[in-house]
Amino acid sequence: MKIDWRAVITGFLTAFVLGLLAVWFVPMTEMSGLVQALPGLVGGFVAGYMVVGVGRGAVHGGLATVLGGVVLLVVWALFGALFAGLFPAFTGLALGLFVLIFQAIPGAIAGAIGGWMKGRRDTTRETVGTPR
């Protein structure tokens, strides 16, 4: 399967921008964790919608979510090593890699839905009574 990197990068950037907006504008409450999950879902959906098909949408949505998680995890680990110390940074990195596996699942599901919707939208329908 050929990966459309434009779709993956677009999904990642969408999730990244929405994540920044959610962090800046949503106050920290008990339910703000659900708001923090939305950028990954929307980014996976956008990546899946840019390709056609459920399978391709799931792969691209999962890749967009994982790519975003890896970039943010590396940045977080570097800042953690600089400001908190090596042991807390590497412990957080190991925990983050474990969580990253589970982040791919919602992104892939949202990407599959996006690819399915794009496939249904692109189909042409014949009108009754028109010659072929």
Question: Tell me: the pLDDT tens digits for 65-103?
Answer: 888 878 878 887 888 888 888 888 888 888 888 777 777
- Angle at which helix 5-25 crosses helix 32-49, to 10 degrees, equals 160
Alpha carbon distance 42, 57 (integer Å): 13
Confidence at 23, pLDDT banded by 50, 70, 90: confident
Question: Domain residue spans in the chain?
Answer: 5-122
| Better-scored residue on pLDDT, 24 or 60 | 60
